[in-house]
Amino acid sequence: MNDEFEKIALLASDTENAQEAATSLLELQDWCDPSEADAVVVIGGDGFMLQTLHDMLDREAVLPVYGLNLGTVGFLMNRLRDPNKLVERVRRARQVSIAPLNMEATTQAGSSFSYRAINEVSLLRETRQTAKIEIAVDGKVRIRELVCDGVLLSTPAGSTAYNLSANGPILPLDSQLLALTPISPFRPRRWRGAILPDKSRVTLRVREPDKRPVSVVADQMEVRDVAEVSLEIDRERALTLLFDPGQALDERIVAEQFIA
C-alpha cells in the first residue's frame, strides 16, 4: 500500500459528466491543492490525462497520477466505481513508470524547439506532395530516403494509439523498446518500420523541403516546416501512473493484441 499518499489532489476535465463526478467526490474526501499533494486523481479521458501529465512536465512537478475514466477509451485510466473507497484504491494502486520522448526540432528558418511526448512524435507532410525523409539511428543513416506521408516514433505507452492505427507494433510496457513506424510508405516498398532499443537516438531529416514541407507533432505540440528532428527517451523525467490491480497498463497492452 502507498501509505505515503497522505495528501491527494483532485482534477477534472471541463466535460459535464467529469464535473458532476468531481462534485460528488468533493463531498466524500478532504482534497488538497495540487501544489501540496503526494498524488493526483484525474477525472476525464485519455486526452485530459495527457494534458495533465504534460502540465506536470512543464512545471517540473511530477506526481503519481491515478486516472478515473469518463472519456471514450480510457486506456490510461481506471474505472469509475466505489467512490467511497477511492482513496483506498489510490493507496493500493500499482505504480507504473513511463518515460517521455524528448524532441529537438530545427526549422528550415533555423529556429529550434524542444518538446516532450508521452505517446509519440510524428512527422507529417504539409501538402499534397509526399514527404522524403532520411532516417538515422545513433548517427548511422539507415534509410537514405523514405517516401511517405510521414513517420512516427512511439513509446510503449503510446504504441496502441496513432502507432497502432499506422499498422505499427504494440509494445509491452517493460519492453525497453521504441516503435519507428512509417505512415503510408511508398518507397522503400518492403519497409514497414523498425523496433529499436529505447536507448536509441533517432534523427529524421527532411529532404527537398521547399517542394515537400513537413511538420512535426509531439503529442499535441506542432512545429511546421522542419528541417531536422532528433528524438530520445528522457529518463530523468519519468512519470508514474497508478492502476488498480488487474487494470495496469501492461495488461491492457497485452489484451489489445487479442482484440479482433
pLDDT, residue 248, reads: 63
- Residue 113 confidence class, pLDDT cut points 50, 70, 90: very high
- Is 58 annotated as ligand-binding? no
| Topology given in CATH for the domain delimited by 101-234 | Tumour Suppressor Smad4 (2.60.200)
CA atoms within 13 A on the CB side of 180: 22
Q: How much is the pTM?
A: 0.87
- Cα 49 from Cα 7, distance rounded (Å): 19
User: Which amino acid makes up residue 115?
Assistant: Y
Local structure of residue 168 (DSSP, 8 states): P
- Cα 113 from Cα 209, distance rounded (Å): 18
- Is 119 annotated as ligand-binding? yes
DSSP letter string, 134-150: EEEETTEEEEEEEEESE
pLDDT, residue 190, reads: 87
C-alpha cell at 7: 495528501
Instruction: Flag whether pLDDT at 32 surpasses 70.
Output: yes
- Is 167 annotated as ligand-binding? no
Tell me, yes or no, if the two domains 8-99+238-256 and 101-234 fold the same way: no
- Residue 2 confidence class, pLDDT cut points 50, 70, 90: low
- Is 231 annotated as ligand-binding? no
Instruction: Flag whether pLDDT at 151 surpasses 60.
Output: yes
- Residue 260 confidence class, pLDDT cut points 50, 70, 90: low
- Residue 106 confidence class, pLDDT cut points 50, 70, 90: very high
Q: Own/partner pairs for 169-174, CB < 8 Å, 24+ apart?
A: 169/193, 169/195, 170/253, 170/256, 170/257, 171/195, 171/253, 172/250, 172/253, 172/254, 173/96, 173/98, 173/249, 173/250, 173/253, 174/250
| SS3 state at 194 | strand
- Cα 186 from Cα 148, distance rounded (Å): 5
From residue 162, alpha-carbon distances to 119, 180, 227 in Å are 8, 12, 23
- Cα 68 from Cα 11, distance rounded (Å): 10
Annotation says 46 is catalytic: yes
* Mean pLDDT, residues 163-178 taken together: 91
Local structure of residue 82 (DSSP, 8 states): -
* Mean pLDDT, residues 177-203 taken together: 96
User: Are 63 and 90 in contact, with CB atoms under 8 Å apart?
Assistant: no
- Residue 29 confidence class, pLDDT cut points 50, 70, 90: confident
- Is 163 annotated as ligand-binding? yes
Instruction: Flag whether pLDDT at 72 surpasses 80.
Output: no
When comparing pLDDT for 59 and 90, which is higher?
A: 90
pLDDT, residue 3, reads: 64
3, 30, 46, 234: which one is catalytic?
A: 46
What CATH number labels 8-99+238-256? 3.40.50.10330
- Lowest average pLDDT, out of 42-56, 59-73, 85-99, 111-125, goes to 59-73
- Residue 54 confidence class, pLDDT cut points 50, 70, 90: very high
Widest distance between CA atoms in the chain: 60
* Mean pLDDT, residues 145-151 taken together: 97
| Residue burial 63-78, b: 16+ Cβ < 10 Å; e: rest | bbbbbbbbbeebbbbb
Domains in the chain: boundaries: 8-99+238-256, 101-234
* Mean pLDDT, residues 87-109 taken together: 93
Write down the mean pLDDT value for the chain. Answer: 91
